[in-house]
Amino acid sequence: MKQIFNLFDLKQKVDYKTEILSGLTVALALIPEAIAFALIAGLSPLTGLYAAFTMGLVTSVFGGRPGMISGATGAVAVVIVALAKTHGPEYIFATVILAGIFQFLAGVLRLGKLIRLVPHPVMFGFVNGLAIVIFMSQLDQFKHAGADGSLQWMSGGALWLMLGLVGLTMLIIWGLPKLTKAIPSSLTAILVVSAIVLGLNIDTKTVGDIASIQGGFPPFNIPQLPYTLETLTIILPYALIVAGVGLIESLLTLNLIDEITETRGWGNKECVAQGTANVVTGFLSGMGGCAMIGQSLINISSGARARLSGIVAAVMLLVFIMFGAGLIERLPMAALTGLMIMVAIGTFEWASLKTFSRMPKTDVLVMVLVALITVLVHNLALAVLIGVIISALVFAWENAKRIRARKYVDKNGVKHYEIYGPLFFGSVTAFNEKFDVLNDPEEIIIDFSESRVMDMSGIEALNKLTERYLKVGKKLHLKHLSADCRQLLHNANDIIDVNIIEDPTYRVAVNKIK
């Protein structure tokens, strides 16, 4: 029973009014996004709406970050669009189920902690790029279908009307919190602008102009496709990418919400919840999804901190689909567009621009590159992966340059090399250059008290170095190797011959030259 209370946050103080109103605001904001992402993937609008409902409900109840919103996302839509065109929706449902299984296993195996490997410049680039993507996606609302069916920019009165309504929405969202925080400014803006449009019978673009949201409860459906090895080879690559993209975006969003709320979510629990949600979504005719940073920020900025807001958002979305489609389809897109533009403005890390002159150039490069890839390719996982790889290479290069050697000859004529810095694949060349094999005395000691052997490249470097000294008849000792370094050398005995003389004084070497 205690676990059930914890699950629904009933032990913590919950502001039910804020949670419910925030959930209602999020539900309204989910509709155009879910429809748009479904259309991007080449699927019916209801496929996206069903995904928004199931993903939102399951992750709100079982997820590792109360207040975070999940649903159908563009990141997943971009991945599955090719499969949708070539094989149809049934293959999409099977792919989403398989991706969910992978995500569930990632949580069970506690792989969520790998998000710690994402450096802060990558986070900055991810957030800034996503803010630009959210803003640019709203520009389509300032276009209309031309005579030839293509989208063309609005002009004249229609454009000024759209700009005015969007501006009014943004003004209310910005200004109302300065007067009162009794009700969410986002919901107030939507209601006020909608009342003006409907009350004055203003002719402007509405939700219904995008697509109808009329539907029933998500139908249970076992994917109708041949269960063969050939089918698995078709969907497996897409499932792996969907699983990876979904987890990366969800865990990054979780970290962002953690920073904003100064609380801590549970990455592994979120992985399990995302996986469970995608499995359920696949069986309930949804396109799959992950955490949505825009809607999550709407929820958090409205004051929601508990699971209730996400549950309300998902349930109200289903209510709109089943019973309120006629009313929701009359909502002006200007109100929702203004809301999302304010989300984009709030998402962008403006403080990151001030750090350009103070951050290392490589960090600035990574931040800008991740943002550009996010904007140009719309693939958040790829952008983050490239950013992490570049950051790792830069880190390896900087550490490779830090290896040093202090040299001196003691009163007994023994030459000492005191090594500083890690010995690994990046520093092997610089390490080898420190030694003067031909001119060194008959006995040499290498002191590793300020260094560590990190990998197989380091072991091989020691092996080659001992061979060089052996050829000229000189003795080599190792001193102050840490326990893990000695174990690493010991484990390598079956792979390579670590030619190091055992020194009875230091008792740290592992083998004897024969």
The pairing of strands 475-479 and 443-453 is parallel
Give residues with Cβ within 8 angstroms of 183, minimum separation 6.
21
Mean pLDDT, the chain, whole residue set? 85
pLDDT band at 508 (very low <50, low <70, confident <90, very high): very low
pLDDT digits 0-9 by tens, 110-130:
988 877 777 888 888 877 887
Dump the DSSP string for 43-59: --HHHHHHHHHHHHHHH
Q: What is the dihedral of CA 43, 47, 48, 51, to 10 degrees?
A: -140
**Of residues 508 and 156, which shows the higher confidence score?**
156
pTM: 0.74
Query: What percent of the chain is predicted at pLDDT more than 70?
Result: 91
pLDDT band at 492 (very low <50, low <70, confident <90, very high): low
Q: Helix 156-179 crosses helix 333-347 at what angle (to 10 degrees)?
A: 60
**Of residues 82 and 472, which shows the higher confidence score?**
472
Residue 437 has a pLDDT of 92
Going by C-alpha positions, the residue among 484, 424, 494, 432 that lies closest to residue 459 is 424
pLDDT digits 0-9 by tens, 322-352:
999 988 889 898 988 888 888 788 878 888 8
Which tokens is 168 given?
Answer: 């009014």
Rg (C-alpha) for the chain, rounded Å, is: 29
Residue 121 has a pLDDT of 87
pLDDT band at 87 (very low <50, low <70, confident <90, very high): very high
Going by C-alpha positions, the residue among 375, 122, 115 that lies closest to residue 248 is 115
The pairing of strands 70-71 and 290-291 is antiparallel
Q: What is the mean pLDDT of residues 287-298?
A: 90
pLDDT digits 0-9 by tens, 349-378:
888 888 777 888 888 889 999 889 888 876
- Alpha-helix runs per DSSP H in 88-119: 89-108
Residue 493 has a pLDDT of 60
Report the C-alpha gap between 170 and 154 in whole angstroms: 20
pLDDT digits 0-9 by tens, 140-170:
888 887 777 777 888 888 899 999 999 999 9
Residue 307 has a pLDDT of 94
Q: What is the mean pLDDT of residues 448-457?
A: 86
Residue 503 has a pLDDT of 42
In this model, does residue 500 exceed pLDDT 70? Answer: no
pLDDT digits 0-9 by tens, 239-264:
988 998 889 889 989 988 998 888 88
Going by C-alpha positions, the residue among 499, 497, 500, 494 that lies closest to residue 479 is 500
Which tokens is 154 given?
Answer: 């609005």
pLDDT digits 0-9 by tens, 2-45:
444 444 454 557 889 999 999 999 999 888 888 878 877 889 98
pLDDT band at 306 (very low <50, low <70, confident <90, very high): very high
Give residues with Cβ within 8 angstroms of 452, minimum separation 6.
422, 423, 482, 484, 485
Q: Which residue has the tokens 């949600």?
A: 277
pLDDT band at 511 (very low <50, low <70, confident <90, very high): very low
Domains of the chain, by residue range, sit at 15-212+232-354, 404-494
CATH code for the structural domain at 404-494: 3.30.750.24
Going by C-alpha positions, the residue among 312, 77, 302, 337 that lies closest to residue 207 is 337
Residue 12 has a pLDDT of 59
Residue 514 has a pLDDT of 37
Instruction: Please state the three-class secondary structure of 169-202 as a single string.
Output: HHHHHHHHHHHCCCCCHHHHHHHHHHHHHHHCCC
Which tokens is 177 given?
Answer: 């919190």
